[in-house]
Amino acid sequence: MTPEINGNVEGSFQLIGGNFTNAGEASTQLKMKLFEFGVDDAIIRRAAIATFEAEMNVIIYAAAGQLHYYITPENIKIRVEDMGPGIEDIEQAMQEGYSTAPEWVREMGWGAGMGLPNMKRNSDEFMIESVVGEGTTVHMTINLNE
Amino acid sequence: MKLSELAEKLSLKIASHTEGMNGNITGAYSSDLLSDVMANSKVGNVWITLQTHINIVAVASLKGLAGIIIVGNRQPQPETIEKAEAEKVTILTTSHTAYETAGQIYQILST
């Protein structure tokens, strides 16, 4: 099915570090937008999971961040930038099971070292840039047409 | 099988979104790691967990799960119930452990 997207649609959300209560708001809104456009359910879910994991990383690790999405008839581009501690070793952070999350976050069932791998797995293109002491930016592209 | 039939067989108590009891379940997934659930559960699964905090609602909703069963007599937090009602996510509770609950569901669904 071809999504009914006329022109390009974009939006952004502010994310606040430590705000677990509103976690998932950005993903839910993006999901509803894609649903309105008639995007395939499986693709919507991939976008929702990738976005939610990115949201969680900002909430767990950073002081604040911003999520920006850009939807075209071909794909969804999601960019999440944060003012966080940055990632020293991206290759290590990408390994499933590796996490630097504090104990109380792990008790909530987060910090299993699966967030970044989940984002990558659900994206068609995935790129991460990070500067220690400044922050991290994640770029994800999800194709709308198989 | 409908979630309501499963709830009856396991004597589950409803904590949120009763309307969701009419939904069909495709299977179950048992895990307390939220990213693991997002990665490995399937659409329409019922999710067995001991987590009670608000983020379980977003996981179930974004992943399209049929419902959440909170085990071990734990109760969802008030803000979790509030969010679940808003997001139309059914939460059930049981005094049984995750092992017992998963085992019972496995038996019910494979016969």
Whether residues A109 and B51 touch (CB distance < 8 A) is answered with yes
Q: Specify if A97 maps to a domain.
A: yes
**Sheet of A135-143, strands arranged across:** A9-16, A64-71, A75-83, A135-143, A125-131
Give the containing element (helix H, strand E) for B69. Answer: strand B67-70
Q: Specify if A57 maps to a domain.
A: yes
Task: List, as ranges, residues 12-71 from B with C-beta within 8 Å of A.
Answer: 32-36, 38-39, 43, 49, 51, 53-55, 57-59, 61-64
Residues of B in contact with A118 (CB under 8 A): 35, 38-39
Structure tokens at B10: 């396991």
**Which of A118, A115, A131, A136 has the alpha carbon at shortest distance from A63?**
A136
A121 in contact with B at a CB cutoff of 8 Å? yes
A131 in contact with B at a CB cutoff of 8 Å? no
Q: Which residues on adjacent β-strands are paired with residue A75?
A: A143
Q: What is the dihedral of CA A80, A86, A91, A92, to 10 degrees?
A: -120
Give the DSSP letter of residue B22: G
> What local confidence, expressed as pLDDT, does residue A20 receive?
96
The domain that holds B71 is classified in CATH as: 3.40.1390.20
Q: Specify if A106 maps to a domain.
A: yes
Instruction: Mutate one of B35, B55, B87 to test the A interface: name it (highest A CB count within 10 A).
Output: B35
For chain B, the domain total comes to: 1
Nearest CA in chain B to A106: B33
| A15-24 residue pLDDT tens | 999 999 999 9
Q: Specify if A93 maps to a domain.
A: yes
Q: Specify if A25 maps to a domain.
A: yes
Q: Specify if A3 maps to a domain.
A: no
Q: Specify if A2 maps to a domain.
A: no
The domain that holds A88 is classified in CATH as: 3.30.565.10
pLDDT band at A68 (very low <50, low <70, confident <90, very high): very high
| B11-67 residue pLDDT tens | 999 999 999 999 999 999 999 999 999 999 999 999 999 999 999 999 999 999 999
Domain that holds residue A69: 9-143
The answer on pLDDT for A1 being more than 60 is no
Measured in angstroms, the CA of A23 and the nearest CA of chain B are apart by 7
Residue B62 CA neighbour count, 13 Å, CB half? 28
CA distance B111 to A4: 43
Asked whether this complex has an ipTM greater than 0.85, the answer is: yes
For chain A, the domain total comes to: 1
Give the DSSP letter of residue B18: G
CA distance B3 to B22: 6
Instruction: Mutate one of B38, B51, B80, B82 to test the A interface: name it (highest A CB count within 10 A).
Output: B38
Distances B10 to B14, B28, B95, B106 between C-alpha atoms, Å: 12, 14, 10, 12
CA distance B14 to A109: 23
CA distance B79 to B82: 5
Q: Between β-strands B45-49 and B27-30, what pairing exists: parallel, antiparallel or unpaired? A: parallel
Residues of B in contact with A29 (CB under 8 A): none
Q: How many CB atoms lie within 10 A of CB A86?
A: 17
Domain that holds residue B27: 3-110
**Do the beta carbons of residue A80 and residue A13 sit within 8 Å?**
no
Distances B27 to A30, A57, B65 between C-alpha atoms, Å: 27, 29, 10
Q: Report how many Cβ contacts below 8 Å link chain A to chain B.
A: 67
